[in-house]
Every structure is written in structure tokens, then in C-alpha cells.
Amino acid sequence: MQLDQSQSLSRKDQIRLEREELILSVALSLLKEKGFYGLSMQAIASQTDYSKGTIYQHFSCKEDVLAKLVIRCGERLVSLIDLALDNGEGLRHKVVMVSWAFFMNAELEPETAGLVSMAKSPEFQIKVSETQQKAISIIDQSILSRVIGLFTQQTDIAVDKVKVGAFGWWAMKWGVQDVLANDWEMSQLGFDDPKRYYFESLHIFLDGLGVKRDQISHDFEKVQAQARRIFHVN
């Protein structure tokens, strides 16, 4: 009896989960094809061969769907960051590798990565269910605590510089991400490859912080190749 019930429950849950998966993958492909404006609950319903009502049993609104995509994107990012931290040698190298974690995560799913900053706006947040809000918040904390932890653990940086270091890096990385996401016309002004400029700037910042230089970190191509290997991208 109990077994049956639990089995049937888990079976239901299984189906529910699979469907949620389907909905999300359809949403993502719509996002890719038609962009943010082209994504509608109606379209998701048609493409999944479910009715609108059923979709609304999984997600309370359009924003809720997008939030879930952003959450998955964030979860993948966290795992890439962990890989970066495990494989980096010393503070500078780890910082560089984590930067690549962000870039490659965005590369894997540019559509979703482009939503991240929108998903953080208050107006978006209030439309999203609390569960999701918390999930986003937890991911943010995970990432930031890893970043701060990284700076704290290392010995080649003064205690009073830890927070500034983490902050400055964070800001710089975020700024570049924004440029990349909406590919601003920086090339017209001679900034053909923002990533290269980012890493150059980053090294200057780390120099200013007094972080030890090393052999690998300064070689853009090499470290990129290394990152692709570690993250299994491309």
C-alpha cells in the first residue's frame, strides 16, 4: 500500500519533472529563435503540446519561467567556478580561471546569461515566486562567498584589501559581461576583443592589489585553452 502510493507519487513527480524539463527547453529554444519579446506562454504551450493551463501549473508567469532558466544558468556557473577554484594555482590564476568560468558559462547559453541582470531588477523579482527568489539569492550568495573566500584564504594579499579586491574584480567582470551580452559597438572605438582588454585590466588591478604574478595567468590563449579543457567547453 504505502509502497504503491509512494511509487505512484514518485512516478507522478517523475512525469512532472520531465514536463518541467520540456517546458524549460522549449522556452529556451523560443528565446533563442524569437528573442525575449517573442517568448510567450501561449507559444510555450503550443510547442509543448500542452495547454496553457498546464503550463501555469508549473510556472506562475512568464517571469517565473525565465527565473528558472536563470537559476539553472547560475547553478551551472557555480559548478564551473568550483572547477576553476580546484584547478587554479594561486590567487591570480584562480581569479583568471573563475573569470573564464563566467565567460564560458555565458558562451554556453548567451540567451540566458543576457537575462541575469534583468532578473535582478526589483520589478522582475516581485513577479517571481518566493521559492525562486530564494534560489536566486542562494546562488548569488554561493558565488559571492566563493569569491570573497578566495581572496581571504590566500596569503599574498593584505587583510584590509580583501574586500576591495573582491569588489573591484566583481565590478570589472560584471561591466565586461554587460558589454559582451549586448555587444556594444566598442569595436568602432578600437576595442575589438573586450575579453583581452578585460584580462589586461584585471592584471593591472591585481598588480595594484599586490597579487603575485605567475607564468600562466598572463598568457591569454594558453589560459583560455586550459579553461576550455577543465570546463569541457568546445
Partner DNA sequence: CTTTAGATTGACGCCGCGTCAAAAAGTGAC
Partner DNA sequence: GTCACTTTTTGACGCGGCGTCAATCTAAAG
Contact footprint for a second copy (CB under 8 A):
35-37, 114, 117-118, 120-123, 137, 140-141, 144-145, 148, 161, 163-165, 167-168, 170-176, 178-179, 181-186, 188-191, 194, 197-198, 200-209
Q: Is 130 in the site for DNA (CB under 7 A)?
A: no
Q: How far is CA 117 from the centre of its chain?
A: 10
Rounded to a whole number of angstroms, the minimum distance from the CB of residue 123 to DNA is 12
Grid coordinates standing for 213? 604574478
Calpha distance 116→132 (Å, rounded): 13
Calpha distance 56→174 (Å, rounded): 33
Residues 112, 110, 30: CA angle, nearest 5 degrees: 60
In the list 4, 123, 130, 221, the residue contacting DNA (rule: CB under 7 A) is 4
Q: Which of residues 35-64 bind DNA (CB under 7 A)?
A: 39-43, 49-54, 56-57, 60-63
Give the CB-side neighbour count of residue 126, counting CA atoms within 13 A.
2
Q: Choose from DNA, a second copy, none: what does 179 bind? Cβ within 5-8 Å by kind.
A: a second copy
Rounded to a whole number of angstroms, the minimum distance from the CB of residue 214 to a second copy is 16
# residues near DNA by CB under 7 A: 22
Nearer to a second copy, 129 or 142 (CB): 142
Number of continuous H segments (helices) and E segments (strands) in the chain:
12, 0
For residues 13-46, one letter each, b for 16 or more C-beta atoms within 10 angstroms of the residue's C-beta and e for the rest, the string is eeeeeebbebbbebbbebbeeeeeeebebeebbe
Q: Is 6 in the site for DNA (CB under 7 A)?
A: no
Give the interface with DNA as residue ranges (CB under 7 A): 4-5, 8, 12, 39-43, 49-54, 56-57, 60-63, 127
